[in-house]
Chain A
């Protein structure tokens, strides 16, 4: 879909076909599975997927079963963007030599682990080189596939197995990295945050991103019932709360120009988000109330900063 084309407004308009099908072994209620399914509804069958090691890759391709109905490759953990670069370069030269007629979309999927941390170098290189591909980071806020270890995307205060809440240290002590900020620093045409709970915003962003002739990045929040510890039926509710408390703002950046997509004018206090997740349970203890205050302060700070970037006063 080129920019300027009509965006998808109703679910009826979306294709019925799935290009990631049932039978995969993602957890019941998995946010990342929803993120992948929605992205492929937007991208369609003319798509090649490169997948970094992680939940999405492992649970959808257990030999001899594969859930993918589009060409798909997994190489290693940290190089989805590098493999995508090679695919893109090959398509360019093979097209030039009249050896290839296809012009598929290229989507690289990486979890927050394979993107924020071990994959940041390959992503940075691919963005700097300007390859035409879409990098979707499905963010479940920890290294979930290996058993819930912290990543650079884990929010402050969250308990993970490598940032547990103990007697001396109450969960992760560091703030979450700003992935879109890093992406935008590479002068790419388009970068955006998204959340699976806002299907229209996310699906339209995938379509929009694919229309640019350069590298694009979408950072989609994908709540994880097992790692964040909530009931599987609440995955979509969690995503909504993340947006409505402003802890995960939804915005896009087109050629460096920030635009707020969901303006949360009456935000819920972050405690509403924190209290229903087991990974934050220790924060509800009285000696940790200052941490919740810090989190709320930081949300306000980041929101105001975002408003300024979006030229909203």
Chain B
């Protein structure tokens, strides 16, 4: 084990190097560029034996990844924002073809206006695509999750593509102290890929046929089952990795839920700020806590209900807006889950941090305050935009 100072992007690139990836096809877009540049360096220096395909767009990036993946290669790509939006149609195809592609999404706002900074609107805009989606809190998690992502994706019981999400600039460009596993440990953790099927002249199959109304429905049912059941694979891989690395990985992470009256539920780098703020508030006696959602798809309903069921008020923070919807994406999923569990806890949706708007401890304190107001019945709004200038 070594400790290196790495930014989030660099940490992802380092993980890709150690995972013996065969083909990387990617197109640069801020704030993902450092990932592809580092990988290009590794390839040029022979530190990784891979083909780096400098595709001419993100749509072609994922298309080339599909081509490489059906040959049995281990593939990786990365993108953000407009790039993810551009490859949208291919996202669905990759997951429907059950290809274990790993993609780092350096979450960035969607145009217009064009904004290069971090929020979750890009991945949220494509959350139905059938990929497994995991959000990371810092560079360490970005590194660890990338390695786990390959193992999750390639497990024959899952065989699904995975996105590793990291906040644009906040994680991607911040230098942190990252613990790197030894190359041999990564190799032991991640054996060579054994594809479910491949293009092989000795066993010619047809991939991507036309399906009429008589079969399509069944294929989608099969796919939905695969995504739902993949939680078993994800749990098993996370447990194995936790043992191998000494760092704990679970579907969600909690702090202070034993006695919290007000809980903040959030994803990404904000969880770090929220946890730190919660710690400070708890020291002066306030009963607060946080629930960090790491695994977003498939949605870990069971674990989330276990964590939030005793709270008196929930403040769900969304770093993305779902225009015209009753609440933001994460909050919608939480409300959905609560309803299914027969629980009716007071819940406030906070839209925050869009376009990279900074989230400070005082913002989080404000969110907790709103939670207490909600608990005492003094908040009538269902959705509030925190920090926006009126």
Contacts and interface: CB of A to CB of B under 8 A. Distances in A.
Contacts of A84: 67
Contact of B209 (A46, A61, A92): A61
Given A86-B64, A90-B73, A71 B201 contact: yes
Interface stretch (B151-159, B171-179, B210-218, B381-389): B210-218
Interface string B83-102: 00000011001000000000
B201 A102 contact: yes
Contacts of A78: 59
B71 interface: yes
Contacts of A83: 63-64, 66-67
Contact of A58 (B68, B199, B210): B210
A295 to B, nearest CB: 34
B170 interface: no
Contacts of A58: 210
Interface stretch (A118-126, A173-181, A303-311): A118-126
Given A68-B206, A93-B50, A82 B59 contact: yes
Nearest to B89: A76
Given A64-B215, A82-B59, A50 B67 contact: yes
Nearest to A89: B51
A85 B204 contact: no
Q: Give the contact-size bracket for chain B.
A: 35 or more
A96 B49 contact: yes
Contact of B72 (A82, A88, A90, A124): A90
A212 interface: no
Contacts of A50: 67
A78 B22 CA distance: 24
Contacts of B57: 121-122, 125
A297 interface: no
B311 interface: no
Interface string A48-81: 1010000001100111101011111111101100
Contacts of B209: 61-64, 66, 74
A99 B194 CA distance: 11
B25 interface: yes
Contacts of A63: 209-212, 215
Instruction: Report whether over half of chain A's contact residues are helix, strand or loop; otherwise say mixed.
Output: mixed
- Most chain B beta-carbon neighbours within 10 Å: one of A70, A87, A89, A99: A89
Interface string B51-81: 1011111011101111111111101000000
A128 B210 CA distance: 31
A76 B90 contact: yes
A214 interface: no
Contacts of A87: 67-68, 70-71, 199
A89 B49 CA distance: 12
A144 to B, nearest CB: 15
B71 A90 contact: yes
Contacts, number: 160
A85 B50 contact: no
A64 B210 CA distance: 9
B201 A90 contact: no
Nearest to A79: B63
B215 A86 contact: no
A79 B60 contact: yes
Interface string A210-227: 000000000000000000
A78 to B, nearest CB: 7
B95 to A, nearest CB: 13
A278 interface: no
A88 B208 CA distance: 19
A65 to B, nearest CB: 8
Interface string B299-313: 000000000000000
B13 interface: no
A45 B201 contact: yes
Given A73-B67, A73-B70, A93-B50, A122 B204 contact: no
B200 interface: yes
A279 B46 CA distance: 57
Given A79-B59, A121-B60, A74 B208 contact: yes
Contacts of B207: 72-74
A104 B201 contact: yes
A72 B61 CA distance: 20
Q: Which 3 A-B pairs have the closest CB atoms?
A: A86-B67, A125-B56, A86-B64
Given A61-B209, A61-B210, A83-B67, 4 more contacts: A76-B89, A85-B64, A86-B25, A124-B56
